[in-house]
Structures are given as structure tokens and as C-alpha cells.
Amino acid sequence: MKTLLLNPPSFENFDGGAGSRFQATREITSFWYPVWLAYPAALIEKSRLLDAPSHAVGFAETVNIARDYDFVVIFTSTPGFKGDVQLSEEIKTKKADIKIAFVGPHVSVQPEETLNASLAIDFVARKEFEYSVAEFAWGKRMEDIAGISFRKDGCVVHNPDRPELEDLDALPFVVDVYKRDLDIRKYTIPYLLYPYVTFYTSRGCPPLCTFCLWPQTMSGHRWRTRSSDNIVAEVKRTLELFPEVREIFFNDDTFTWSKPHVLELCKKLKPLGVTWSCNARVNIDYETLKAMKEAGCRLVDVGFESGDPEILKNIRKGATVEQAFALMKNCKRLGLTAHGNFQVGLPGETHETIEKTIRFAMNLDCKTIQVSMSHPYPGTHFYDYLREHGYLLLAEMTDEMGHQLPNFEYPELSRQEIVDAVERFYARYYFRPKVIFRIVRRAVFDSVERRRLYKEAKEFFQLRAKRKSFVINRG
């Protein structure tokens, strides 16, 4: 069956689907690769992976492209769901016999609500969906496909869950699909070298962070990994296909979970001389960081989240402020760059805890940071907490362009104050002389970075002005 794997054009520059944990248009244009969709694209013959946002493919063009296919798989998101339903309905009007499946975290936890939203949606493939949609494309009946929900005789049928994938080595390499269907020059993350490529080396995340989307809705908490030989083989394949790539990013939820596995992999990566980066937790020890650095690791992407110990306990982070400072000390000693992730709006947040987190971030002094408004996605414990306490609002979680907005507030912390706090956080962090000097130095010595920084600064200040308007007009 001729199949289109679609990351839809929910919003312009929307990094919200098949590779992004925080589903939103960024302060600065950023695009993660649609890794989840690349796996079934590799499994299904006569398929195409269309990443509409990164390749600037709009609504009408997407509909026209879809008409050439028999089966469309749409990776939807919570903020983009309404628009994605409209897209599916328009596709059906152009080709009535086309089959459409929705996949992703939002529909995995709300399959019945999804199917009831529109008759244009033929079925939902829940959680790890690559083999579910592949089996349908191969001709298997919906009744016989594990892990899907569909309509039958006027009722919604939920087939038994598909077991979590055990043999990750059996999956094809996503980089072959990138070469076939994507233009890697369209992908950029501000803190990664350009151009970059990303893929997963494991699935599942044992920590129980209450806000985190993927483990609670898609891949689960049980950690499963590819063999080190299989990972190295895809790294070599990446270098063969894309000699211009300056960095590979291992985008696992918990790349550093198993020290023995990381050390084994580092021994095999070291001879390749490849530059790579990864997501990491604050509890990595010096020996592991040293092995990573020697094997070519340039940057660790760390979720610090908050500088308040009680908030860290509230969200079950399994990390402490002290561990964060120890990690940064070791990174600076080894010459490893750190990108820090922080949030505003987690359970227990107050004006005082926000101030504490800003000071915490400034003392850690990561090279770059991301400050997000906490987002309660359906299926997460954070969402349930807000709903049970009456903090959720009937408000959109993004603006008309897909930028983050809080759809909740606390008795002593309003939506406007959360938005304002994010802007103050960025201003106090980046408008320090030593940080400005770091940024200017990058621009002076690297022409590629100079062009990127000019574009990023322009986008950042445009959104900053827009958010200030939101605070003033609704305050």
C-alpha cells in the first residue's frame, strides 16, 4: 500500500510532532527530526516521509501530495490536534477511499475521543506504532493488528496493546530515510552544531518525572537499548551518507542511564573521531563523563528543571541541586559544554521558587539554556494533578503561531505571571556581560554561527515583544 508518513503543517515552523518532547513553535526556529515516523517509513515499501513544518510545506500542498497515496499516517499533537483533524478531513474530500491513521502521544491516551472527533480518521495506532501501521500497509486486517483502535458496527474497538518492542536492533536505520526523503539543511537546533543528525539508541526512561511526555504516553519506563555494535553501525552509515554533518545527537530520554553500556559504546565510538552530543541526567559520575569526552562527546543536554528542592520532589525528578552543581563542575573540568533546561510552572511554583531557579541557573552557568512554560499533556501525572486541583483552564496551550502559553494557573501565580517569568528568566540569564561576551566571540570566529546568531536574535526579540504584549493586555 502506497503510504505517506506525515508530520503535518499544524503551525508555521511548528516543532511539535514526531521528534519533539515540548510540542510548540520555539522562541528561535528549531526542528528535531521526525524519528518516530522514519521507522515505519523504512519498513514500508512505496512510502514517503513528509516533514511539512521543517520543509515549509503548507496545508494545501500537503493535501495535494496526500492525494497520490492510499494510506496516510499523521503524527498529531495536543496543540495541533484540531488543525490536524481539519487536514485529514480535507484529504478525504479530495480522495474519499484513502485510509488515515493518527499516531502520537495525544491519541495514544485518548484513542476513543480521537476517533469520535472525525469520521475521516480510520484508526489510531497507540504508543509504539511503527509495526502497527506497517502491518496495515502490508495488508493485514485492522481486527488482527495489535495496538490499534478503530470503529466497527458503530462502536469503537480497542485491540489489545502491542507489546513493547524488545529487539531494537531489528529496526532499520532512520538515516537511510533521511537521505531518501529529507533535506538535512532544514534541521537546526540552536545549541547543536549545524548541520546535525539525530536518532535514538534506546527507548524507555526509568525515572518517573511527572511532566515528561514520552515515557508516560509512548515508550514506557522500562529501559531497552540497541547493541553498541548496532549504534556504531548507524553512526558510520550517517558519516557515509552525510559527510557534511558536524554533529550527531543521541536523542534518547536517558542516554546515560546504564554506565556499563555508555562506557562500552564510548570505546567503540572513540576510534571514529565523530563529534556527538546527548541527553543526560545530573547524576553522571566523572568517570563516565571523561569517557564520553574522550570518545568525542561535545555537549550534554540536561534537564535541571528547577532550583527548588521541594519542586524537584514534587515532580519525582530523582535529582538534587547538589548533583547539578557537581555535574557542572565536572563538565567544566573536562571541557564539556552543557545546555540546561528549566521550567516555570511546575507544582509548588511561586514567585519565590521562580527567583530561586533563576539564581540557580545563573550559578550553574550553562553555555545555553531553554526556559519552558510547563505544559500539562494528557496522559501525564502533571496533567492529572492540575485537573484534580482545579488548576486547568479552558485556554489554549499555544498562541495562533504555536508558541507556548500556559493553560493553567495557580491561586498565587497567574498565566500572565508565568509568561512574564519566562521572559525575565531569559533576560537575566543572557543579558549578563560574560554571556554576551561568549555569544559575540562565537560570532566573530565562525561565519556559520554568525549568521545563525543574527537570525536567532531577531526571532527571539520578536517573540519577546509579543509575550510582553500578552502580559500587559491580559494582566
> Which pLDDT does position 92 carry in this prediction?
98
- The residue that leads in pLDDT, 57 or 18, is 57
189-474 CATH: 3.20.20.70
Average model confidence (pLDDT) for the chain?
A: 93
Cβ atoms < 10 Å from Cβ of 45: 11
Residue 396: name the closest of 474, 461, 465, 458 by CA: 474
Residues sharing a CB contact under 8 Å with residue 45, sequence separation 6 or more, in sequence order: none
Cβ atoms < 10 Å from Cβ of 65: 17
Cα angle value 379/39/234 (rounded, 5°): 120
Give the integer Cα–Cα distance in Å for 63 and 317: 42
Query: How many Å separate Cα 39 from the centre of its chain?
Result: 16
Give the integer Cα–Cα distance in Å for 401 and 418: 19
Give the integer Cα–Cα distance in Å for 226 and 205: 14
Cβ atoms < 10 Å from Cβ of 60: 10
Residue 129: name the closest of 220, 33, 20, 39 by CA: 39
> Which pLDDT does position 25 carry in this prediction?
73
As a dihedral over the C-alpha atoms of residue 434, residue 436, residue 438, residue 443, rounded to 10 degrees, the angle is: -160
Percent of the chain with pLDDT over 70: 96
The answer to whether 32 and 198 have CB atoms below 8 angstroms apart is yes
pLDDT at 23 over 80: no
With cut-offs at 50, 70 and 90, classify the pLDDT of residue 469: low
9-23, 25-39, 132-146, 325-339: least confident range: 9-23
Q: Write out pLDDT tens, residues 35-80.
A: 999 999 999 999 999 999 999 999 999 999 999 999 999 999 999 9
Residue 220: name the closest of 151, 276, 166, 143 by CA: 166
Residue 265: name the closest of 253, 246, 278 by CA: 278
- β-bridge mates for residue 250, sequence order: 199, 278
Give the integer Cα–Cα distance in Å for 92 and 46: 20
> Which pLDDT does position 416 carry in this prediction?
94
Query: How many Å separate Cα 224 from the centre of its chain?
Result: 19
pLDDT at 242 over 80: yes
Residues in the chain: 475
> Which pLDDT does position 463 carry in this prediction?
66
Name all contacts of 182-187 with Cβ < 8 Å and 24+ positions apart: 182/33, 182/49, 182/51, 182/54, 182/55, 183/55, 184/242, 184/245, 186/31, 186/51, 186/54, 186/55, 187/31, 187/32, 187/33, 187/54
* Class of 3-158 in CATH: alpha beta
R_g of the chain computed on alpha carbons: 22
Query: How many Å separate Cα 18 from the centre of its chain?
Result: 7
The answer to whether 415 and 409 have CB atoms below 8 angstroms apart is yes
Q: What's the one-letter identity of residue 80?
A: G
Helix (H, G, I), strand (E, B) or coil at 435: helix
- β-bridge mates for residue 342, sequence order: 305, 371
What mean pLDDT comes out for the span 210-239? 97
53-57, 304-308, 431-435: least confident range: 431-435
pLDDT at 175 over 70: yes
Helical H segments across 75-165, by residue range: 81-94, 105-109, 111-117, 130-137
Give the integer Cα–Cα distance in Å for 77 and 20: 10
The phi and psi torsions of 162 (rounded to 5 degrees) equal -80, 130
With cut-offs at 50, 70 and 90, classify the pLDDT of residue 16: low
Environment class of 348 (CB within 10 Å of its CB; exposed 0-12, middle 13-18, buried 19+) = middle
* CA distance readout (Å), 431 to 233, 359, 423, 426, 439: 43, 14, 12, 8, 11
Sorted by where each begins, the domain ranges of the chain are 3-158, 189-474
